[in-house]
Structure formats: structure tokens, C-alpha cells
């Protein structure tokens, strides 16, 4: 029986009926663990997922990748006014971020550079991959995805993560196909949590984070690597000899063998400016750039030495070099239910031939 509440204000009476329960959420735009059908899918796992996945169990930007609980915070009217300090060889003093594009919802993540100076980005809510060209024009380039997440590119290969129910890694180029959606016969969801981030190798495989660190080769065979990792962002070095994965307040590194296997896990760097590592990218000199939410983009030399931080107008979750000469740093900045693509001029240059 419905409950009717009578309230009196002055001489007016108002009747309020409790709202009907929201319909179960399912389908594209809904990340797998929030999907109403997720519990039934997990019941089919021969090997159940871990009870408590690591940081990779939630996609970038916090739990459920920006699907905030409660009302979204009001969005500011533009980038907050922050100015860079000089980092020799990286960025000049006095540089400021420029807002390039703004979109409502969870609709910008996992950015990579295109060969013509633009960027590709994944849209969770819209389940598309869109391109932002060097002039700021936006176009939808891939549709029919399932709650798309990070994008990865290496040479002729382009991939996207699908974070909806029955999660998968899809190859978009040179031929559109599913690279992997199962692990030993189980749905990929049985690994636990959400596909978070990935980096593509030049052999048609990808390294990805999903409550842990994994490699899927060109045939879709999955191998797990690493110990005591709280994974999130991941990137291959430009020469593909080393792999870097954020590990909470530190960055872990591995040596990459010719067969793609990983060895020699070690701590590469600490996030000296604080925060937990998220997205990352390299420049052509081998310096590593790591987003740390509200703690800016932290920069490290090839030995792991901390060089400084590039402050950002809002928390940032993903970063890449692009522009006509690859000397512009792009990032996704988020507040409440709004995503911004922001850009800042650099001295450093991004590597060519790779998305990031």
C-alpha cells in the first residue's frame, strides 16, 4: 500500500507520494558492476572474481568512473587559473591551460593522439569513440560500442575497452573485431571489477589493468603479472622495452621480453606531489607523465627522478601529447558531471608513431 504524507504550510495542503523505484539499469552506458544483470553473469563464473579488487576494480576518476553518488557538483564556467612553473626541457614558466572542448556526462576518457594532430577519446555514457581534431572540431568515428573506456594505439593497431556487461577489448583497426572477452572460458567480468586502462604493443596485443595487471596477446590469450599491485594507469615505453603501471602513490615498472612476458617488477618512482597515479604518457626523451587527480601531472626522468609537477585547473584523469608537432599536452579534467579537454603548450615533444 502506498504511503500518503500530509503537510500543511499556511492554509495550503500538499499531498506527496513516495516516488516509484527507479528501473533497473542495464545496457550500453552502464558499467558492468552497476548493471542489474551483473550478479547473474557472475554466477556463471567457474572461477569467481576476487572479493576486493584493487584500484583497477573501479574505472578512472573514482568509483564507477565518474558515476557519482548523489547530485553532481556544479560545473565551473571554465578552467581555473593555474600557471606552470618551469621544468627544464619540459615546460616553460607561465604557461596556462586552454579549454578545448566540454561535454556533459561520463564522456571523455582514455585519450590518445592521432597522426594528424588530433586526439581520440572514449565515451562511457554514449558508447562511442570520438575524434577531436587539431582545430577543435569533434566527430564521432566509432559507434556501436558497449560503454567504452580507454583507447590505445600503436602503429596500425587501435583498440578500445568495453566496460558494459560482458566486458571486452575490441580491435577497431586495421580490422574491427573482438580481441578478448573471455579468460579460460569464463566471461572477462570474472576477473573482477572493471576494465580500467590499457596500452597497445606493436604485435597486436595489449597490456591492461582490471584489479590487476594482464597481457592479452594478438590471439586473445591472457596472462596475469605482478604482485601486490594497486593498478590503474598503464603505458609502454616508446621502445617497448619497459612497462609502467601506477600503483597507488608509486609507479611500478617491468622489463618486457621479446615474447611480451614481463619480468623484474620494481618500484620506478614515487608521486612526490601526492595523490594516487591514474593515466600516464611519455615524451620523446623518455620522460614519464602521470596524472594524479587533484595533484596535477607529475613528471619523471627515465631513471624515475621526480622533475616537478604541472598544476591543472581541476582533477585530471588521462593525458597525451598531440597537436601538429606533438608539442601540446592534452588532458581530461573532470568536475561533477562535466568533462573538459584541456591543452597546454610544451617544450617537450611526444613520441611519434604511438598514441601515447
In a domain, residue 24? The reply is no
Determine if the pTM surpasses 0.85: yes
Q: How far apart are CA 76 and CA 145, in angstroms?
A: 30
pLDDT tens string 142-193 = 999 999 999 999 999 999 999 999 999 999 999 999 999 999 999 999 999 9
Tell me if 269 is assigned to some domain: yes
User: Hey, is 187 helix, strand or coil?
Assistant: strand
What is the C-alpha to C-alpha distance for residues 194 and 210, in angstroms, rounded to an integer?
Answer: 6
Average pLDDT over residues 55-61: 44
Is residue 341 in a domain?
yes
Question: What pLDDT sits at residue 255?
Answer: 99
Identify whether 5 is part of a domain. Answer: no
- Extract the C-alpha cell encoding 211: 584489479
pLDDT of residue 260: 97
Burial degree of 71 (CB within 10 A; 0-12, 13-18, 19+) = exposed
**Model pLDDT, residue 17:** 52
Q: CATH no. for residue 214?
A: 2.120.10.30
Query: pLDDT category, 21, cuts 50, 70, 90?
Result: low
Is the per-residue pLDDT at 215 higher than 90?
yes
Q: Is the pLDDT of residue 22 over 90?
A: no
Segments forming the whole domain that contains residue 169: 32-68+82-345
Give the number of domains in the chain.
1
Residue 12 above 50 pLDDT? no
Choose among 32, 51, 273, 320: nearest CA to 163: 32
Confidence of residue 204 (pLDDT cuts 50, 70, 90): very high
**Confidence grade of residue 64 (pLDDT, cut at 50, 70, 90):** very low
Q: How many whole angstroms separate alpha carbon 192 and alpha carbon 210?
A: 7
How far from 315 is each of 103, 210, 223, 296, 319, CA to CA, in Å? Answer: 16, 22, 32, 7, 12
Q: Kindly state whether residue 15 falls inside one of the protein's structural domains.
A: no
User: Residues 214-233: what's their mean pLDDT?
Assistant: 97
Question: What is the total residue count of the chain?
Answer: 356
316, pLDDT greater than 70: yes
Is 6 part of a structural domain of the chain? no
Q: Nearest CA to 79 among 275, 312, 355?
A: 312
Say whether pLDDT at 231 is over 60.
yes
Q: Are 291 and 279 in contact (CB under 8 A)?
A: yes
Amino acid at each position: 500500500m502506498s504511503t500518503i504524507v500530509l503537510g500543511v504550510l499556511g492554509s495550503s495542503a500538499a499531498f506527496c507520494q513516495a516516488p516509484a523505484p527507479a528501473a533497473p539499469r542495464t545496457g550500453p552506458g552502464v558499467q558492468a558492476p552497476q548493471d542489474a544483470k551483473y550478479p547473474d553473469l557472475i554466477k556463471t563464473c567457474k572461477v569467481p572474481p576476487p572479493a576486493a579488487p584493487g584500484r583497477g576494480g573501479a574505472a578512472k576518476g573514482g568509483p564507477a568512473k565518474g558515476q557519482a553518488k548523489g547530485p553532481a557538483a556544479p560545473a565551473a564556467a571554465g578552467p581555473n587559473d593555474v600557471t606552470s612553473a618551469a621544468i627544464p626541457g619540459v615546460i616553460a614558466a607561465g604557461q596556462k591551460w586552454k579549454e578545448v572542448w566540454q561535454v556533459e556526462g561520463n564522456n571523455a576518457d582514455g585519450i590518445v593522439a592521432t597522426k594528424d594532430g588530433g586526439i581520440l577519446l572514449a565515451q562511457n555514457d554514449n558508447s562511442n569513440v570520438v575524434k577531436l581534431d587539431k582545430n577543435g572540431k569533434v566527430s564521432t568515428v566509432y559507434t556501436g560500442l558497449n560503454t567504452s573506456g580507454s583507447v590505445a594505439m600503436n602503429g596500425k593497431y587501435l583498440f578500445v575497452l568495453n566496460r558494459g556487461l560482458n566486458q571486452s577489448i575490441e580491435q577497431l583497426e586495421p580490422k574491427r573485431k573482438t580481441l578478448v572477452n573471455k579468460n579460460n572460458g569464463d566471461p572477462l567480468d570474472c576477473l573482477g571489477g572493471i576494465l580500467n586502462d590499457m596500452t597497445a604493443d606493436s604485435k597486436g596485443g595489449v597490456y591492461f589493468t582490471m584489479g590487476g595487471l594482464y597481457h592479452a596477446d594478438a590471439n586473445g590469450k591472457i596472462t596475469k603479472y605482478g604482485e601486490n599491485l594497486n593498478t590503474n594507469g598503464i603505458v609502454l615505453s616508446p621502445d617497448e622495452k619497459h612497462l609502467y603501471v601506477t600503483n597507488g602513490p608509486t609507479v611500478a615498472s617491468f622489463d618486457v621480453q621479446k615474447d611480451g612476458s614481463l619480468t623484474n617488477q620494481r618500484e620506478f618512482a614515487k608521486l612526490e606531489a601526492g595523490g594516487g597515479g591514474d593515466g600516464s604518457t611519455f615524451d620523446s626523451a623518455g620522460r614519464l607523465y602521470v596524472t594524479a587527480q587533484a595533484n596535477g601531472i607529475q613528471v619523471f626522468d627515465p631513471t624515475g627522478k621526480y622533475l616537478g609537477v604541472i598544476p591543472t585547473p581541476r582533477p585530471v584523469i588521462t593525458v597525451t601529447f598531440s597537436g601538429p608537432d606533438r608539442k601540446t599536452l592534452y588532458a581530461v579534467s573532470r568536475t561533477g558531471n562535466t568533462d573538459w579537454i584541456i591543452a597546454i603548450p610544451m617544450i617537450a615533444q611526444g613520441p611519434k608513431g604511438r598514441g601515447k
